[in-house]
């Protein structure tokens, strides 16, 4: 593989030559701290001056995500790395709520609601795959599974595409969605 993804999920607004997009969902950010963090109440405040974990990734279209406001203690490339760092330190991370909920029990994180707008997430693909029938199906499947209520209905649906073609498809989740 040449490092090219057939589809990417990322923040709305990525641009690039030959890049197509479709908005697929919105998700709100939350803050997470490790259970036992003595400053967890302060971390939930909008004006918190606690050291933050900044997630900074250059997306597929080479756009930069806005910097994290406040004191940045460390910079990490993914939300998973931010969650892991928060689980082992007294630092604060901002994550998409779905990821935070998925990791909270395993990493022993406390989820803190914050007053922040939901972020829009889009599915992106390049013109080289735009007309490909299998890739259209695959994009449709990715769009379907981003709606949580659709998951039970979709079991067994991938029978229309040959297994070798499905195995060639690559998905990349570009982040961060939240700055």
**pTM as predicted:** 0.68
In the numeric block, the tokens 């997430």 are attached to 121
Give CA–CA dist 75/115, Å, rounded.
23
Please report which confidence band the pLDDT of residue 157 belongs to, taking 50, 70 and 90 as the band edges: very low
State the pLDDT at residue 173: 46
State the pLDDT at residue 149: 54
State the pLDDT at residue 147: 67
Contact 118, 23 (CB under 8 A): no
Give 112's strand partners. 31
Give CA–CA dist 44/33, Å, rounded.
10
Mean pLDDT of 108-115: 92
Counting residues of the chain whose pLDDT is more than 90, the rounded percentage is 25
- 8-state DSSP, 54: E
Give CA–CA dist 68/55, Å, rounded.
8
State the pLDDT at residue 164: 52
Give 72's strand partners. 52
Output 87 or 77, whichever has higher pLDDT.
87
Strands 29-34 and 109-113, by their bridges, are: antiparallel
Contact 26, 97 (CB under 8 A): no
Dihedral sign, Cα of residue 141, residue 144, residue 149, residue 150: negative
Mean pLDDT of 12-16: 83
How far is CA 173 from its chain centroid? Answer: 6
Q: What is the mean pLDDT of the chain?
A: 77
State the pLDDT at residue 178: 41
Contact 82, 95 (CB under 8 A): yes
Look up residue 165 and give its two tokens. Answer: 């073609």
Contact 110, 101 (CB under 8 A): no
Convert the pLDDT of each residue in 28-74 to its tens digit. 889 999 999 888 888 877 777 777 777 775 544 444 455 566 788 88
Contact 23, 121 (CB under 8 A): yes
Mean pLDDT of 136-150: 79
The residue length of the chain stands at 179
């Amino acid at each position: 593989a040449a490092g090219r993804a057939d589809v990417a999920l990322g923040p709305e607004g990525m641009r690039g030559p030959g890049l197509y997009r479709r908005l697929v969902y919105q998700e709100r950010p939350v803050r997470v701290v490790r259970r036992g963090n003595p400053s967890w109440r302060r971390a939930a405040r909008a004006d918190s001056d606690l050291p933050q974990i900044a997630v900074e990734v250059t997306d597929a279209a080479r756009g930069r995500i806005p910097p994290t406001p406040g004191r940045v203690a460390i910079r990490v490339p993914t939300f998973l790395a931010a969650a892991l760092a928060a689980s082992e330190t007294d630092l604060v991370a901002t994550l998409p709520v779905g990821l935070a909920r998925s990791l909270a029990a395993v990493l022993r994180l406390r989820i803190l609601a914050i007053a922040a707008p939901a972020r829009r997430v889009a599915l992106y693909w390049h013109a080289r795959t735009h007309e490909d029938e299998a890739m259209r199906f695959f994009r449709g499947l990715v769009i379907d599974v981003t709606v949580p209520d659709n998951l039970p209905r979709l079991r067994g649906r991938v029978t229309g595409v040959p297994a070798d073609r499905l195995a060639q498809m690559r998905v990349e989740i570009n982040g961060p969605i939240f700055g």
